[in-house]
Amino acid sequence: MKHFQLIILIALGVFCLSSIGIINDHAIEASAQYPIIDGIRCDRTEILDFHYHAHLNIFVNGSSYLIPAGIGIKLPDCIYWLHTHDASGLIHIESPQNNTFNLGEFFDIWGQKFNNNQIFGLKADNSSDRTLTVYLNGTAINRTSYRDIPILNHEDIVIIYGTRPPEIPQYKFLY
């Protein structure tokens, strides 16, 4: 009888701790293979406590660069708080905390280089065919660290390396 009571007390304690958030099963890092990047975990499931979207377009010498599907998704193991589901350029932010994430964190999760002087392996300089410009909602950003640009809800981000496309597209959010 004492063992049964002890088991009940332990189960009740675990239930109470989990219900107040001290034990949070989905917050356990899925694998050392997918480490925390810039403070962003790769959790076992999507966490929708704070859920919003931004859009990213990249142009290299006037041509659209495909943003891959599955950035930040490591199936079947885990999913980072910043990720893409498809190749539309839509960045999903699904986090347990109301943090403001930035463009540098997204590129770090993607595993790609990005700063004011480089995107991927492409270095920027003062020549006309090697410039790097970032637009937010159609407006060029000047005098800031591109990596620190916040990713906000319904933010339309366009990165252009080299020759500009004929027109800077604007993304229409459906939700």
Confidence (pLDDT) at 2: 52
pLDDT for residue 30: 52
Q: What is the 3-state secondary structure (H, E, C) of the chain?
A: CHHHHHHHHHHHHHHHHHHCCCCCHHHCECCCCCCCECCECEECCCCCCEEEEEEEEEEECCEEECCCCCCCEECCCEEECEECCCCCCEEEEEECCCCCEEHHHHHHHHCCCEECCEECCEECCCCCCCCEEEEECCEECCCCCHHHCEECCCCEEEEEECCCCCCCCCCCCCC
pTM of the model: 0.82
Mean pLDDT value of segment 71-91: 97
- pLDDT of 44 > 70? The answer is yes
CATH architecture of 42-161: Beta Complex (2.170)
Domain residue spans in the chain?
1-28, 42-161
The pLDDT score that the predictor gives to residue 77 is 94
pLDDT tier for residue 129 given thresholds of 50, 70 and 90:
confident
pLDDT-based confidence at residue 65 (cuts at 50, 70, 90):
very high
pLDDT digits (tens, 9 = 90+) for 132-174: 999 999 999 988 899 999 999 999 999 999 999 999 999 999 8
Rounded to the nearest integer, the mean pLDDT of the chain is 85
Question: pLDDT band at residue 108, thresholds of 50, 70 and 90?
Answer: very high
